[in-house]
């Protein structure tokens, strides 16, 4: 039987000759990783359930979300993890190292055809080298530490052929923003995507990493690049081993194939609030900015640093604008120093920080304040994700050019003089944002539940809307419920009004974004009896199932005629749903056998 790349990797790591979409198998994991958030809960699970560590040589911790250790709770959690790691002989890539997913590649801990799991929702960045990487919650990672394996459902695969020549002014970030414009956040939800075409073959490792890192924002399981010669040479140099090139069979079966003319791609920007709300940069050109950020796992590579330096050389950041730059790894930081790039940045008036995730983690370099307008190279601009202001997403060159101009522009259209601030407008904007924030602060188990409905007719509700990243230090489940939805506009008071037994019904791609377990456990703390959605984010779905939080999917609920506040009864075994208020019935997707087993066991452990 012919297989795609993801199917070959899963089969090779599960002892199967072949696998097909939908097959659920145990996969052996080559690298089992936890970060400085999520890591403490992994330790807690291992110690609570008296688990052992299967193979310390394949087990790692990475401290990248708070590389300064400047937050007391993070510092406490990091030290807790260090003590556990010393006890079990586990290597820690500490706060001086950089982003963990990049470390896996640069340290030869991941290679084409390998497998890795981590508490980082962007672990699928490893698709850049043709490897399997998945972000998972703390229960999954604890299981991987203990067993060396995790269960996984083989996803269907899609092929994207990028045809034509890439325009000179289009960067790797522009490529993925164009793809987001085409596919949105959920058209490829749950698929493994493979890229082919002459334009793909020419992409460097850094460019592949940029594109692969935004697979999470596209809703895919992973964006996979068949490794070219340069990628193979790089991975062999890092692993010290001769590696086999991974590729799909010529007659592999794909759920769909898309031919896309890359020559028509243009420089793009994501407008604030949604990474997939992408437009031609000229639709946002001359939007005045207050700050800019270059970094994150998407655009903190060496090529990104050079692109920024090329724009900033012999120029200054506009008066009143703050530009912050954070390389992904310490090795890249050192290379910037060696090449004189740090001097270019400092001469331009840039704040350069030590390597790490930066703006994507609350309290770190790259955050903004109420009313502040930022242009960033990050992968997410969900409300509140990078602070309390508005965030546009763009390429490093565009961000650098915008910082010099004082407004959003391309590197080819930088004015001779930067725009001046309209201080009255800025003050009014900030005061309005502050006022809005003040007014809207942020055993035997039943297989049938009945409760009052919270109908939330929204798609793509992400984990920052569910449980904001400023609360990630919280490890006590009892404290998590109070923060559920406090970053979802219109539902900030959900935690105060919800009652035990209530049922949440929402739209597509619920739980998109981060791997944080708190976005599941908070609902359990509140006593929510079930969450129904048309579809769930892939990581969120695993987290909920493993935590025995009842989640179910549906195609439509028109027959049940459900309105907000109705009382409904849901049967997990049969998929029957009864609107008790109106005595109308409908059907949803029942629990799978695996989900029911984990649910009845009250969780994975």
* Residue keyed to tokens 């009842």: 550
Q: Is residue 441, in this structure, part of any structural domain at all?
A: no
E-strand stretches of 424-528: 448-456, 503-506
**Last residue in a domain, options 264, 281, 312:** 264
**Last residue in a domain, options 264, 287, 311:** 264
Given a contact cutoff of 8 angstroms between Cβ atoms, the answer to whether 210 and 185 are in contact is no
**Exposed, middle or buried by CB within 10 Å (0-12, 13-18, 19+), for 398?**
buried
Which token pair is 22?
Answer: 């939908």
Whether residue 442 is predicted with pLDDT greater than 50 in this model: the reply is no
**Last residue in a domain, options 248, 264, 280:** 264
Range name among 187-196, 417-426, 542-551 with the lowest pLDDT average: 417-426
45 and 153 both lie in a single domain: yes
Q: Is residue 605, in this structure, part of any structural domain at all?
A: no
Q: What is the pLDDT of residue 528?
A: 97
Whether residue 441 is predicted with pLDDT greater than 60 in this model: the reply is no
Range name among 158-162, 281-285, 450-454, 482-486 with the lowest pLDDT average: 281-285
Whether residue 533 is predicted with pLDDT greater than 50 in this model: the reply is yes
DSSP character at residue 590: P
pLDDT tens-digit readout, 10-40: 999 999 999 999 999 999 999 999 998 789 9
Whether residue 370 is predicted with pLDDT greater than 90 in this model: the reply is no
pTM of the model: 0.85
Q: What is the rounded (10 degree) CA torsion for 275, 280, 286, 292? A: 40
Angle value at C-alpha 79, between 213 and 296, nearest 5 degrees: 20
- Per-residue pLDDT band at 362 (split at 50, 70, 90): low
124 and 229 both lie in a single domain: yes
Q: Which of helix, strand or coil describes residue 418?
A: coil
Q: What is the pLDDT of residue 412?
A: 94
Q: Is residue 28, in this structure, part of any structural domain at all?
A: yes
422 and 463 both lie in a single domain: no
* Residue keyed to tokens 């964006």: 223
* Residue keyed to tokens 């970094």: 295
Q: Which of helix, strand or coil describes residue 453?
A: strand
Q: Which residue has the higher pLDDT, 475 or 581?
A: 581
* Residue keyed to tokens 């009945």: 450
CATH of the domain at 66: 3.30.499.10
CATH of the domain at 469: 3.20.19.10
Q: Measured between alpha carbons, how far is 298 from 208 in angstroms, rounded to an integer? A: 10
Q: Which residues pair with 504 in a beta bridge?
A: 454, 531
Q: Is residue 442, in this structure, part of any structural domain at all?
A: no
Q: Which of helix, strand or coil describes residue 57?
A: helix
Number of structural domains (the chain) is 3
Q: Measured between alpha carbons, how far is 600 from 128 in angstroms, rounded to an integer? A: 38
272 and 254 both lie in a single domain: no
398 and 481 both lie in a single domain: no
- Closest C-alpha among 343, 350, 295, 342 to residue 318: 350
Q: Measured between alpha carbons, how far is 228 from 576 in angstroms, rounded to an integer? A: 50
CB hemisphere CA count around 212 (13 angstroms): 32
301 and 236 both lie in a single domain: no
pLDDT tens-digit readout, 403-433: 999 999 999 999 999 988 776 776 777 777 7
Q: Give the domain extent around 109.
A: 5-264
181 and 220 both lie in a single domain: yes
Average pLDDT, the chain: 93
Q: What is the mean pLDDT of residues 295-311?
A: 96
Q: How far is CA 372 from CA 122, 345, 388, in A?
A: 26, 22, 8
Range 66-85 burial, b when 16+ CB lie within 10 A, else e: bbebebebbbebbebbbebb
Q: Measured between alpha carbons, how far is 164 from 175 in angstroms, rounded to an integer? A: 13
pLDDT tens-digit readout, 503-513: 999 999 999 98
Q: Is residue 489, in this structure, part of any structural domain at all?
A: yes
Q: Measured between alpha carbons, how far is 334 from 332 in angstroms, rounded to an integer? A: 5
Q: Is residue 169, in this structure, part of any structural domain at all?
A: yes
Q: Please, which residues have CB within 8 angstroms of residue 504's CB and are 6 or more apart in sequence?
A: 453, 454, 456, 523, 528, 530, 531, 532
Alpha-helix residue ranges (DSSP H) falling in 203-271: 205-212, 215-218, 229-239
Q: Is residue 330, in this structure, part of any structural domain at all?
A: yes
Range name among 100-104, 369-373, 563-567 with the lowest pLDDT average: 369-373
Q: Measured between alpha carbons, how far is 578 from 322 in angstroms, rounded to an integer? A: 55
For 534, other C-beta atoms within 10 Å of its C-beta total 18
Q: Measured between alpha carbons, how far is 10 from 90 in angstroms, rounded to an integer? A: 26
254 and 273 both lie in a single domain: no
Q: How far is CA 503 from CA 139, 220, 420, 524, 546, in A?
A: 24, 27, 51, 11, 19
Q: What is the pLDDT of residue 604?
A: 80
Q: What is the pLDDT of residue 72?
A: 82
Residues in the chain: 605
Q: Is residue 283, in this structure, part of any structural domain at all?
A: yes
pLDDT tens-digit readout, 78-110: 999 999 999 999 999 999 999 999 999 999 999
237 and 283 both lie in a single domain: no
């Amino acid at each position: 039987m012919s297989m795609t790349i993801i199917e070959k990797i899963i089969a090779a790591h599960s002892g199967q000759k072949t696998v097909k979409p939908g097959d659920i198998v145990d996969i052996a994991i080559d690298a089992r990783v936890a970060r400085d958030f999520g890591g403490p809960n992994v330790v807690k699970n291992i110690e609570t359930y008296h688990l052992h560590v299967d193979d310390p040589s394949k087990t790692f911790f990475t401290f990248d979300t708070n590389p300064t250790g400047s937050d007391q709770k993070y510092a406490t959690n990091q030290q807790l993890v260090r003590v556990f790691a010393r006890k079990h002989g586990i290597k820690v890539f500490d706060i001086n190292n950089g982003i963990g997913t990049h470390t896996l590649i640069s340290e030869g801990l991941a290679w084409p055809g390998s497998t890795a799991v981590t508490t980082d929702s962007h672990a699928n960045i490893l698709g850049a080298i043709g490897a399997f990487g998945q972000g998972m919650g703390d229960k999954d990672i604890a299981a991987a530490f203990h067993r060396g394996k995790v269960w996984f459902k083989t996803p269907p695969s899609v092929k994207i052929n990028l045809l034509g020549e890439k325009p000179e002014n289009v960067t790797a970030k522009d490529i993925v923003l164009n793809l987001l414009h085409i596919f949105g956040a959920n058209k490829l939800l749950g698929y493994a995507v493979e890229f082919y075409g002459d334009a793909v073959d020419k992409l460097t490792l850094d460019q592949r990493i940029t594109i692969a890192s935004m697979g999470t924002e596209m809703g895919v399981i992973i964006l996979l690049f068949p490794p070219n010669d340069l990628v193979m040479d790089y991975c062999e140099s890092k692993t010290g081993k001769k590696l086999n090139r991974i590729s799909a069979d010529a007659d592999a079966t794909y759920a769909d194939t898309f031919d896309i003319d890359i020559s028509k791609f243009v420089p793009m920007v994501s407008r604030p609030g949604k990474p997939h709300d992408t437009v031609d940069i000229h639709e946002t050109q001359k939007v005045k900015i207050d700050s800019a950020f270059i970094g994150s796992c998407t655009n903190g590579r060496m090529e990104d640093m050079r692109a920024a330096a090329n724009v900033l050389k012999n120029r200054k950041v506009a008066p009143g604008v703050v530009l912050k730059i954070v390389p992904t790894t310490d090795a890249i930081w050192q290379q910037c120093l060696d090449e004189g790039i740090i001097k270019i940045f400092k001469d331009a008036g840039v704040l350069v920080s030590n390597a790490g995730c930066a703006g994507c983690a609350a309290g770190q370099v790259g955050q903004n304040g109420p009313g502040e307008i930022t242009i960033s190279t990050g992968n997410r601009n969900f409300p509140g994700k990078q602070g309390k202001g508005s965030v546009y997403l763009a390429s490093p060159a565009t961000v650098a050019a915008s910082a010099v101009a004082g407004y959003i522009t391309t590197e080819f259209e930088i004015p001779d003089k930067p725009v001046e601030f309209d201080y009255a407008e800025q003050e009014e904007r900030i005061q309005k944002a502050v006022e809005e924030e003040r007014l809207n602060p942020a055993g035997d188990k039943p297989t049938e539940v009945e409760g009052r409905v919270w109908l939330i007719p929204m798609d793509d509700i992400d984990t920052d809307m569910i449980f904001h990243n400023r609360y990630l230090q919280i490890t006590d489940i009892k404290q998590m419920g109070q923060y559920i939805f406090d970053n979802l506009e219109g539902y900030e008071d959900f935690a105060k009004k919800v009652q035990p037994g209530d049922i949440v019904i929402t739209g597509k791609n619920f739980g998109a974004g981060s791997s944080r377990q708190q976005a599941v456990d908070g609902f359990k703390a509140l006593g929510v009896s079930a969450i129904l959605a048309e579809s769930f984010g892939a990581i969120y779905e695993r987290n909920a199932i493993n935590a025995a939080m009842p989640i179910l999917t549906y195609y439509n609920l028109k027959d049940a005629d459900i309105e907000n506040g109705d009382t409904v009864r849901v049967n997990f075994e049969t998929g029957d749903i009864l609107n008790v208020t109106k005595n109308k019935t409908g059907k949803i997707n029942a629990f799978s056998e695996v989900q029911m087993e984990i649910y009845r066991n009250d969780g994975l452990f």
